[in-house]
Amino acid sequence: MRESIISYYDILMGKAITNSEYRALAELRYRIRQFLSGTDEAARRAGLEPQQYLLMLTVRGLPEGEEATIGLLAQRLALRHNTAVELVNRLEKHGYVRRERTGDDRRQVQVSLLPAGAKLVRRVARQRIADLREDGVALVNALHSVIGKSALSRKSPETAGGRS
């Protein structure tokens, strides 16, 4: 019975998922989790909670022209606004970030890294980049298995015509 339900669903959705696609997706998830787990450990070794590091990385790594507002940080980290505020509060108490009210709308708060925070982010990021350069091939291969190598040769919206 279960097999017929899956087959009917596959017919409705257009194409059956192959066993190799399931394996590729599972491998990709495993590799992503490995990377994220390593990032969490690197943050802890630096004396940070993983979310603290991610917030500071987000501040440091925002696209040019983007301001690190609490709302944008919450959005990029998939957090509720009040959770992002609490993270900023803790980081501010440690002397890692500073918040400033900006512009005419005094409710708007911009977050910036202080030297101590920038130093910690740099230390963890340097380690993670080194780890990716050493072990990232497995992650890339897993991604290739899911999306196909030909998909990588297509131009993304950012590279096609210079628009995002």
pLDDT tens-digit series, residues 55-88: 999 999 999 999 999 999 999 999 999 999 999 9
Q: What is the C-alpha to C-alpha distance for residues 35 and 40, in angstroms, rounded to an integer? A: 9
Q: Which of 10-14, 73-77, 153-157 is least confident?
A: 153-157
Burial status of residue 19 (CB atoms within 10 A of its CB: 0-12, 13-18, 19 or more): exposed
The residue extents of the domains of the chain are: 17-148
The mean pLDDT value for 35-58 works out to 97
Q: CATH class for domain 17-148?
A: mainly alpha
> What pTM was estimated for this model as a whole?
0.78
What pLDDT is attached to residue 162? Answer: 46
Of all residues in the chain, what percent carry a pLDDT higher than 90?
70
Q: What is the C-alpha to C-alpha distance for residues 87 and 82, in angstroms, rounded to an integer? A: 9
